[in-house]
Amino acid sequence: MRRLIVLAGVVVTASLLMTGCEYDVAQPHWNDEFVEPATPEITQIMPADAAPPGANTITIIGNHFAEGTDRNRVYFDRVPAEVITASPTSISVRRPNLVSEACEVRVVSFDALEVAKSGPYRVDSVWDEVGLFPENLALNAVTVDHNENVYVFQHSPRTIYKISPDGQMTELGTTSRAVTDAKYARIGGEETIIILNTNRSIQMLNLSTLEETEWIRITGRVSYGDFDRHGNFYAAGSRTDLQTVTADLREKPRPGMYSADDIHAVRVFQDHVYLAVTLARPADGEPVTGIWRHEIQDAEGNLGPRKLVLDWSTTGAFAESAINDITFSQDGILYVATDHDNPVLMMHPDERIDVLYKEILPSYPVKCQWGTGNSFYMVLGGEERIAVRVDAGVPGAPYFGRSL
């Protein structure tokens, strides 16, 4: 009898366990009712209708996009655009490497079954080649006069070319030395180019007579320079310090701040002298390479102490690249020409760092110079040794050499 009772208990327990397991089994997914995801739509694109020069990014407004940059793909026709930010109602992308009068914008969201489409949308060209130069010959410097004539200096043979606004190119002659920097200036009513060539002698080329003469001989060998609104000229180079030539051609005493350093570029903007510098012996807290500025304190070209503008080590992918030149837009954006694959870094007045026209511009600009409008010019020193015009969509900062 006792055995029967035990056996019955075992059977009841097993039955209860089996019943419990039956209720724990998950329902198969094929029994769920299908819920179709919302269809994404594009309601607006900014800039509207077209991406003109200066539009570094494009914003797509709409509904039902996926959350996150890695869950959306954006195409302009078949050309992909890099997604910078993405939310269910807005996607920002970099300007695509495309020129089109009427392309279709498509958003592929991973959460949706359908593709959002909008068009036609125009994408303007932002750069073009200027001049036709002998193949594989190095170009060293570029400058632009008040009529938007572009002057390009070839390294060897040492040739000067003039490119007019209608694209016609003329060979003007030769220079006495290889040019490292050139600045257009209207000195005393004469149309003149100031030529620097890593030498104590700064040369002057008269564009009317094409005669090259010595403008001034200074203490150190200088490679780069720029004018301020008073006609003072600030020149520098490798281990030569920053040197000031006054409007009446007097050399001021050198400040001694950069005597052991390499200065890669000089640019005057809003009564400050900006320098791209690699310091030989940086003090505590100072970067090895950076962009500094000095306030121009008076009409004599006296300068205030240096202030750090950009620590080059904080520029991410650009930190290992070389600075070749700097320039400014009228609204205060600093453009830095480098040997990076995406050659032009931008620093906005609020210190935001960006890339100008990423994956679009040709690489390795040696020198750059803003013209009289929205475009600056670059001579390239990489595989393609050409001169290009880049439309930034905004005017350049005043260049004081043209008004002397």
DSSP state for residue 116 in the 8-state scheme? E
Structure tokens at 162: 């003039």
Give the global pTM: 0.89
Contact between 239 and 261 (Cβ < 8 Å):
yes
**Which listed CATH number (2.60.40.10, 3.40.640.10, 3.40.1190.20, 3.90.1300.10) goes with 41-123?**
2.60.40.10
CB-based contacts of 79-83 (< 8 A; 24+ apart in sequence): 79/103, 82/358, 82/359
pLDDT at 16: 44
pLDDT at 12: 46
Q: What is the mean pLDDT of each run of 10 residues along the chain (404 residues)?
A: 44 48 55 75 97 98 94 97 97 98 96 91 98 88 96 94 96 93 89 96 95 95 97 96 96 90 97 98 96 97 96 97 98 98 98 97 96 97 90 97 90
Q: What pLDDT shows up at residue 196? A: 97
End-to-end CA distance of the chain: 123
Give the length of the chain.
404
Residue 27, pLDDT score: 59
* Strand pairing report for 212-222 and 387-391: unpaired
The span from the CA of 363 to the CA of 94, in Å, is 18
Q: Are 94 and 358 in contact (CB under 8 A)?
A: yes
Measured distance CA(255)–CA(242) in Å, rounded: 7
CATH 3.40.50.150 fits 127-403, yes or no: no
CA distance 290 to 305: 15
Q: What is the pLDDT of residue 3?
A: 45
Residue 318 is given by DSSP the state G
Q: Which helix (H) or strand (E) holds 12?
A: helix 2-24
| Per-residue tokens: 109 | 């969201």
**Spans of all domains in the chain:** 41-123, 127-403
Q: What is the pLDDT at residue 116?
A: 95
Beta bridge partners of 50: 122
pLDDT value at residue 135: 80
- Identify which of 342, 172, 328, 176 has the alpha carbon closest to the alpha carbon of residue 265: 328
Contact residues for 387 (Cβ-Cβ < 8 A; gap 6+): 129, 130, 131, 133, 139, 142, 150, 152, 163, 377, 378, 379, 380
